[in-house]
Structure 1
Amino acid sequence: MSDDRVLEHILNPSAPLSSEQSKVPIRDPEPKTDQEKNADKMRLEAIKLAEQNKFQEAMNLFNGAILLTPRMASLYNDRAQLFRLMGENGKAMEDISKAIEYSNSQGKTAVQAYTQRAMLHMLNRDEEKARHDFERASYLGGRFAACQAAKLNPYAKLCNQMLSKAMEQLE
């Protein structure tokens, strides 16, 4: 890494370190079967209902969609978001784990699931686990995750503290 890139990272720790972290996530597979297509329609309708604060109706649709296609990763990731809105973080964490498993840790759903799990780790004040999940999401192309991972990087924190102290002494 060049000196300019190191300095840029010290001054702007939110910026991704490498082009590897700024890649575009691969797309999730398109629904192919009629069951997958119906489940995806139900998922989209459930999201609309959740946005209208109709949580129980949204939950019913997610549950029905999961019955149709029990290994569709996006269903679990989106239902996890609904669980979070409902304050049920434990259930959200279970669904996130399934989303990661069924996505094979690849694609847009995996990026969202790792990011969502990292945010739950932050709520639980576990920065190390959060940083790890943000880094995984970042590697898969999550830009928000890349910024958060950089903020939690202990070396970047130390460099920023030292730089801030030096700037204060100069003033």
Structure 2
Amino acid sequence: MASAHDRAVLQAIFNPTTPFGDVPALNQEEELIDDDRGFDMELLKQVRELEMRGVSAAEAGELQAALQLFSQAVHILPQRASAYNNRAQALRLLGDTAGALQDLDQAISLSGGTGRSACQALVQRGLLRRLACQNDEARADFEKAAALGSEFARQQAVLLNPYAALCNKMLSEVINNLRNPKMPDME
């Protein structure tokens, strides 16, 4: 079995535009989950059902119905991050970016910046901030989500980091020159 260093070297060779050592899922040993232990089990079951129905409604294009279901879930367990995260997605799809950002901020706050809901909310907020040309704030969100294990967020953080982009470009050029050496002109 290859060591972490071996995988990092192979990653640098085969994907020279990613930072050295940036091996997908290297630091994430288990899937992210939200800690729902502090909630009443009956209310939690009810809220999860509402969220599943909301996701199904959103997937069917019934965004207003999805929004209502997610809002019911928020009303039942206002201290649980997941429903805010889901409602933010519905709000964003309905064009309410300000409302989506408010719910994402709440999801991140309630989650304590850990778990699946925090990771998803940070990625969503990063994307909204990037669309608003708030690249420094977007990069900070992507870096936090990347630290939680999101490969997509890691890629976005690299794209928004001017130093990493410059280093990656130079490394790519060096590797390209090693693969395809330029022969001196003979006149």
* TM-score tier (shorter): 0.7 to 0.9
Letter of the 1:69 counterpart: L
Would the alpha carbon gap of residues 159 and 15 (structure 1) be closer, same or farther in structure 2, given more than 3 Å must change? closer
Higher helix share: 1
Q: Report the CA distance between 1:161 and its aligned residue.
A: 3.8
Q: Does 1:13 align with 2:18?
A: yes
Task: Tell me whether 1:99 sits opposite 2:107 in the alignment.
Answer: yes
Q: Which residue of 2 aligns with 1:131?
A: 139
Cα distance in 2 for partners of 1:66, 1:128 equals: 30
CA RMSD after TM alignment: 2.8
1:121 alignment counterpart:
129
Matched, 1:26 2:32: yes
What is aligned with 2:67?
59
Deviation, 1:139, is 0.6
Mark the CA change 1:129 to 1:25 in structure 2 (over 3 Å): closer, same or farther. Answer: farther
What's the CA shift for 1:162?
Answer: 3.7
Return the alpha-carbon distance in structure 2 between the equivalents of residues 78 and 16 of structure 1.
Answer: 33
Larger Rg over CA atoms? 2
Larger RCO (CA under 8 A, 6+ residues apart): 1
Query: 2:12 corresponds to which letter in structure 1?
Result: E
Q: Tell me, in whole angstroms, the C-alpha distance in 2 between the residues paired with 1:77 and 1:114.
A: 10
Greater than 6 Å deviation, 4+ residue runs: none
Q: Percent identity?
A: 34
Deviation at 1:138, TM superposition (A): 0.7
Report whether the alignment pairs 1:39 with 2:39.
no
1:72 maps to amino acid = R
1:67, CA displacement in angstroms?
A: 1.1
Give the aligned partner of residue 94 of structure 2.
86
> Cα distance 1:132–1:24, how it changes in 2: closer, same or farther (>3 A)?
farther
1:76 aligned to 2:84? yes
Residues of 2 paired with 1:14 and 1:54: CA distance?
Answer: 41
Deviations for 1:107-144, whole angstroms, at most 9, x for unmatched residues?
Answer: 01110010111001110112211111111001111121
The count of aligned residue pairs is: 169
* Alpha-carbon distance between aligned partners in 1 of 2:34 and 2:100, rounded to the nearest angstrom: 21
Q: Which consecutive unaligned segments of at least 5 residues does structure 1 have?
A: none
3-state SS of the aligned residue for 1:148? helix
Q: Does the CA-based 8 Å contact 1:79-1:95 persist in structure 2? A: yes
Deviation string 1:28-52 (CA, Å, 9 cap, x unpaired) is 1246421121011001101100111
Q: Given the two structures, how large is their TM-score scaled by the length of structure 1? A: 0.84
